[in-house]
Structure 1
Amino acid sequence: MANRKKKVLLRIIITSVIIFILISSGFVICIKSVKILLNEGNEATITEISDKNAIVVEDKIKGTFDYMKCISNIFSQQSTFDIDSMLSFLKTETERTSFLRMGIINSEGILKSTDNISLNVSNTDYFNRAMNGDTIISREVIDTTTKEKVFIYTTPLLYDGAIKGVIYGTVLCDNMEEILLSNAGFEGKVKSCIIDKDGNIVVGAKNSKEVVERENIFTNEKSNEESDKTELENFKQDLISGNEGTRVLEINGKKSLFSYSKVENLQDHYVLSQIEQSIISDKDNHIRSMMILLGSFISIIFVMLLIYINEYRNKKEKLIKDIAFVDDITGGKTLMKFKMDIKELLSNNKNGSYALVEFDINRFKIINDIWGYKTGNLLLKHISEVLEEKLCFNEMFCRVRDDLFIMLLNYSNYKDMLERLKVLDNDIRFFEKREPIPNFTLSYGAYVIDESEADIQKMIDNTALARETSKNNCNSIIAFYDTKLQNKLIKQKQIEDVMHSALISGEFEVYLQPKYDIKLGVSIGAEALVRWRHPTRGLISPINFIPLFEKNGFIVNLDMFIFEQVCIKLNEWKGKESRLVPISVNISRVNLKNVEYFIKNITRIFDKYDISPSLIEIEITESAVFDDYENIFEALSKLKEIGFSISLDDFGTGFSSLNILKDLPIDIIKLDREFLNSKDSSKKGEIVIENIVRMANELDLTVICEGVETHEQAEFLNKVGCNRAQGYLYARPMPVRDFEETELWPKS
């Protein structure tokens, strides 16, 4: 034991050293990479500043162009071409703008300014280009009066559709410096100026002292390092060629990062932005120091994590020894083992495509109750044997609990999955030929595993939701978890959020569907149904909320509401001395799980409205009886003692056993519509119905058939002795008011 601990400790130390070396090496590489990234980031930042300044300068120039064109447009609309009048107007404009002076150049090139200067500028580029129709800004020139650097704006002077001269304006170059100051960047430490292609500084911001004090940025810049000389020559060549870029250059003995961006509408000019390398280095060094500190911290965490992982592994090994991974009935995996195995499989096969498929045996409890637990266990073992034989490499299964199984299968597409499950389904149901069990069915749910999904339990939960959906789907043996199912769950949540308030506000309405005597053609009663009249969604069908209410238990409240509404109406009809007919009320199996509470509630209600129990039929489905036979039997016996008639609804939908007809305390059986429809396709169906009706009559049970839609069906039922029917042939479910008018006191 001591040797084992020493080996473990030595392994931890060696592993820790290796990890420390790897982490240290990684951080050296990382720091170098970060340095490169920081340099790239700094270059990107100063380039952005330079570009922004260039754009702002361009916008300033464009705004001045528009202003000059506007003046030209004003002059073109004057009634006479009067230069003196134009100069007077320009003088006023000069006083209220940043122009040093403005003026008119006639077609001969003679300039007249607002401050009475007269020059011949016929040979200048800005005059000739303006006469050719261009609006331009000149290169910087020395003003003849102030001896300062200025830019000259010119635009054609149009009159009668022809160029009669040029409007010009002179602006001090220094006017641009405020623009450069407004976008300094790097906490105001970026210095910017405007230069021409020869490196001459035209405009310098006030914070660019080191740069601005010289006439040309290349003046006296010499370096002994060959790389610096190359950078300087490349910089000069870029300016001459009209290229933009970033360079590291030495100015006044200080290394600086430069970025230069063209000013598009100022010919051969650039915005040059500069920041000293020492400023950038201080910031970068701080980041690198923090990274080293973080790396040291992570190294410590890694060592601690390694120790923790080792401890966890020891506990996990002990857990594996302590917990059995073999299912006690099938001999296969338990759910815990299944989870561990699929987690490992999925992590090692990230490129694989898989689906979880969960299935159970519909009404398995009936098999256990009627044929015994031994037969039920044999069926579970048979399923395990089939899956063990049919599953492929990298596929697995387990029994989750009871009759619930889950499989991890390779997945390619829906069609192949469906075909494969059909084969498995047939192999599993082959058990019927070995044991005396009637036809049983399976419900499947599938979840296609997303490669980004890591929560195994969530995958299993999604598969279970899909399986629950398949139980209500007659068109397919399998349901996939998808966006439709997600949307369905969202809609169910929306219904659950408002169901209590809907019941209080009276959104649920009782509808009545008459039951008819086939021979007499008159109504002999009705079935109470429920409809939800939602304020925004309109009439909601029961199929969209009854199954949900049975799951969440709200069906108890709704059943009591319908029962009370029926009692209210019966009391009202009794007071009007109307023809009274019995009304049947559907009671959910959920209500009958607490028999005493249910009996107490309905007794209170019919006593409150002074209604005889003989006027109310209690309907319960055949499937509810089989799912909880003993409890349902007790509940129905007590209801029978009170005086209610008991109706067995949907007879013929499931494991119909004729034995229950003699044992259950029932008065009426309702043949399911599917049972009736089967007679159309087979003469044998007629014989089955005829014998059920005859036997029920001999047992003194009333038979009513629901879903009657044609005269042929009614005639057939009458012929075999079933004289009561319910269906669209006679009447659809209708509001209570319509039932009163047509069935209780018809007008004719």
Structure 2
Amino acid sequence: MTAACVVVWVIGAALLISSLAQMQNYASIINNAGVVRGGTQMAVKLEMAGVHADAIAERVDGLLVQLIGNERARLFKTSASDAVLDDLQAVQDKWRVIRDEVEDVRSGAPSGALLQASQEHWELADKAVKAAEVRANSESRLMLFVSAFLVLFTTAIIVLRERDSMKRQRRIFYTDPLTGGSNLEGFCRQAAKEIAAAPPSTYLVVYTNIVHFRFINDSFGRTAGDELIVRLYEIYRESCDGLCARADSDHFALLTKNDPAALETLCAKVDADLRAAEDLHFTGTLSCNYGAYVADDPNVGVASMVSDAAHVLKAGAKERGIAYYTEAFRAKLSSEMEIVQGMADALEREEFQLYFQPQIDVRTGMLTGAECLCRWQSRELGFMQPSAFIPAFERSGLISELDFYMLERVCRAYPLLLPGDRGGALPVSINFSRPTVLQDGFVERFLEIVRSHDLPSEAIEVEITEGAFMVDEAVVINAMDTLRAEGFRIAMDDFGTGFSSLNLLRRLPIQVLKLDKEFLREGYETDRTQSILSDIVGMAQHLGIRTVCEGVETPEHLELLRRIGCDTAQGFYYSRPVDLESFKRTYLG
């Protein structure tokens, strides 16, 4: 746009300057021709009165030579220019006759012939002046016409180019660079038209993702992940009866007819096509999840529908991989919002309570530590277990405040000493969420709280879930290395629930490995499960890592742990989580 405008301005300025110069030139011609006409008449009158007019004659000679020379030197000549030149030459010829008659009059000849020549010269000069005026007017109109044409032509080119540029920019704005199809903006724009043209509830807005896509990127590389996304887009485009677009990362937005059976068929087909893709070597276990929103309200924008579908995909209960945004889910969101909004006041009123669950040495039955757990005694919402509020805090980004609050409460609870003659601080394991560990200043804030209470480092065990190490691994490991160097024990929680990597385990700065309680659920008696547990414990011992098994509820569980060499047990077999005072009376009295 700017460059085009500059071109127009340059052309316009050039034409204007040229027109002004030409007009000045024409004005000079007309003026000089008038001077020749008037000067000739004055010279004749003076000569007839007996006064020599040689100076005027020389002036007329010079002007005629100049006028005729300029006309002959003109580069671009028209018929009007030829007419002006002929008239000027006729004026010059008649002037020469007058010069000859002047000499005769000076010699005593009658002046009649001089007067006749003077009259004829006046007529010829007047004709030359008028011809110059006609040419000036004609060429000025032509110049104005050409200027207007160029401006209009250039403006038309600019408009067309701008329109073409806007079309290209619009295509870029609405196109996903990886798949070449629509992006989320393009999807919302087109879907809005489709939904508006149909009765309410005709369509479903669907938001999808690839299960464990980050693991694919981390394990096979980003190029492999991009290939998977492109292939998935092609599958959706071929299988979906409506619109499809890549929203971001591994997420897609679909517009399909509101037919649950058809959506289930689509999901099954997509999963089957992914698994059958022979050129994608990791697709055998791939699947997708879906969040669906019924487009039943014309006043709700498509972007809002996509957002709600994404929300239910993340937090809703799924059946066959599909979660629908229902009134029940809407009510759940409302309840979750109430929980989130009540957090600040709850922290100030110290409504979050410390609960402890003991950790017992499998061989000796002695207390070796405890895990700190949180319960919320809300003034408005009543008593709540962690499952009722922790996920909401994690989704809202507020979980970090609760994590540090619990650390502060544990520090304030000390001194907590191991019972008997062992002495020393009771190691208390505190859970820290992934967002907390990844935030800037985590280590500094952690150390500031512990040091402000003058606690020994062995009193706190930092517990991180296995999944925390799967995202920004280097950041997490660096933070844990720093805390371990400060003397704090590092524990990996829920080992076995995700993509456990033995290579990752080898590199992590952990001293405690907590086996997830799922290992002791139904089916733990099988040789396969017990062999897995035994191998994990043996590997940990080989690496110098202490093992803690959660979910111990029966004597059989405990016997299994003794047999495979697990170090510590934690679960209902010994105690449910209890409040701080009950824990002190029971285990530290």
| TM-score (normalizing by structure 1) | 0.54
- Distance in 1 (alpha carbons) for counterparts of 2:163 and 2:194: 18
Tell me the alpha carbon deviations over residues 706-726 of structure 1, each in whole angstroms, 9 at most, x when there is no partner: 112222222222211113111
Residue in 2 that maps onto 1:589? 434
State the one-letter code of the partner of 1:603. L
Give yes or no for the alignment of 1:464 onto 2:310. Answer: yes
- Distance in 2 (alpha carbons) for counterparts of 1:397 and 1:709: 49
Shift of 1:474: 6.8
Tell me the alpha carbon deviations over residues 669-693 of structure 1, each in whole angstroms, 9 at most, x when there is no partner: 1111123337537432222221111
Tell me the alpha carbon deviations over residues 343-375 of structure 1, each in whole angstroms, 9 at most, x when there is no partner: 232233337721011111244233222210111
Tell me the alpha carbon deviations over residues 248-279 of structure 1, each in whole angstroms, 9 at most, x when there is no partner: xxxxxxxxxxxxxxxxxxxxxxxxxxxxxxxx
Residue in 2 that maps onto 1:356? 205
- Distance in 2 (alpha carbons) for counterparts of 1:431 and 1:623: 28
Distance 1:448 1:352, change over 3 A: closer
Shift of 1:494: 1.5
Give yes or no for the alignment of 1:519 onto 2:363. Answer: yes
Contact 1:705 1:724 in 2 (8 A): yes
1:52-91 paired onto structure 2 within 5 Å? none
Of 245, 261, 264, the match for 1:398: 245
* Aligned partner of residue 680 in structure 1, secondary structure: coil
Give the number of the structure whose residues are more often helix, by fraction. 2
Distance 1:640 1:406, change over 3 A: same
Contact 1:580 1:744 in 2 (8 A): no
Residue in 2 that maps onto 1:550? 394
Contact 1:432 1:438 in 2 (8 A): no
Of 640, 653, 659, the match for 2:484: 640
Tell me the alpha carbon deviations over residues 371-391 of structure 1, each in whole angstroms, 9 at most, x when there is no partner: 101110111122112212222
Contact 1:354 1:410 in 2 (8 A): yes
| TM-score (normalizing by structure 2) | 0.67
State the one-letter code of the partner of 2:390. I
Shift of 1:318: 6.0
Shift of 1:663: 0.3
Contact 1:571 1:610 in 2 (8 A): no
Give yes or no for the alignment of 1:613 onto 2:462. Answer: no
- Distance in 2 (alpha carbons) for counterparts of 1:716 and 1:398: 52
Of 324, 343, 346, the match for 1:499: 343
Of 446, 449, 455, the match for 2:292: 446
State the one-letter code of the partner of 1:358. Y
* Aligned partner of residue 732 in structure 1, secondary structure: coil
State the one-letter code of the partner of 2:488. F
Of 154, 162, 187, the match for 1:338: 187
Contact 1:653 1:675 in 2 (8 A): no
Give yes or no for the alignment of 1:412 onto 2:256. Answer: no
- Distance in 2 (alpha carbons) for counterparts of 1:385 and 1:684: 40
State the one-letter code of the partner of 1:369. D
Contact 1:512 1:527 in 2 (8 A): yes
Shift of 1:539: 1.0
Contact 1:679 1:686 in 2 (8 A): no
* Aligned partner of residue 510 in structure 1, secondary structure: strand
Shift of 1:418: 3.6
Residue in 2 that maps onto 1:425? 271
Shift of 1:703: 1.1
1:9-408 paired onto structure 2 within 5 Å? 319-322=166-169, 323-324=171-172, 325-350=174-199, 353-392=202-241, 395-408=242-255
Contact 2:274 2:286 in 1 (8 A): no
Contact 1:579 1:744 in 2 (8 A): no
Give the number of the structure whose residues are more often strand, by fraction. 1
* Aligned partner of residue 479 in structure 1, secondary structure: strand
Distance 1:534 1:475, change over 3 A: farther
Shift of 1:646: 0.4
- Distance in 2 (alpha carbons) for counterparts of 1:619 and 1:546: 16
State the one-letter code of the partner of 2:193. E
Tell me the alpha carbon deviations over residues 134-163 of structure 1, each in whole angstroms, 9 at most, x when there is no partner: xxxxxxxxxxxxxxxxxxxxxxxxxxxxxx
- Distance in 1 (alpha carbons) for counterparts of 2:163 and 2:541: 67
Shift of 1:594: 3.2
* Aligned partner of residue 360 in structure 2, secondary structure: strand
* Aligned partner of residue 571 in structure 1, secondary structure: coil
- Distance in 2 (alpha carbons) for counterparts of 1:520 and 1:437: 48
- Distance in 1 (alpha carbons) for counterparts of 2:356 and 2:468: 23
Distance 1:454 1:728, change over 3 A: closer
Contact 1:363 1:627 in 2 (8 A): no
Say which structure, 1 or 2, has more relative contact order (CA 8 Å, 6+ apart): 2
Residue in 1 that maps onto 2:54? none
State the one-letter code of the partner of 1:628. D
Distance 1:454 1:330, change over 3 A: same
Tell me the alpha carbon deviations over residues 657-678 of structure 1, each in whole angstroms, 9 at most, x when there is no partner: 1111110111111111123337
- Distance in 2 (alpha carbons) for counterparts of 1:432 and 1:587: 41
Shift of 1:744: 1.2
How many residues matched? Answer: 428
Shift of 1:737: 0.8
Give yes or no for the alignment of 1:693 onto 2:537. Answer: yes
- Distance in 2 (alpha carbons) for counterparts of 1:475 and 1:682: 29
- Distance in 1 (alpha carbons) for counterparts of 2:197 and 2:206: 20
Shift of 1:653: 0.9
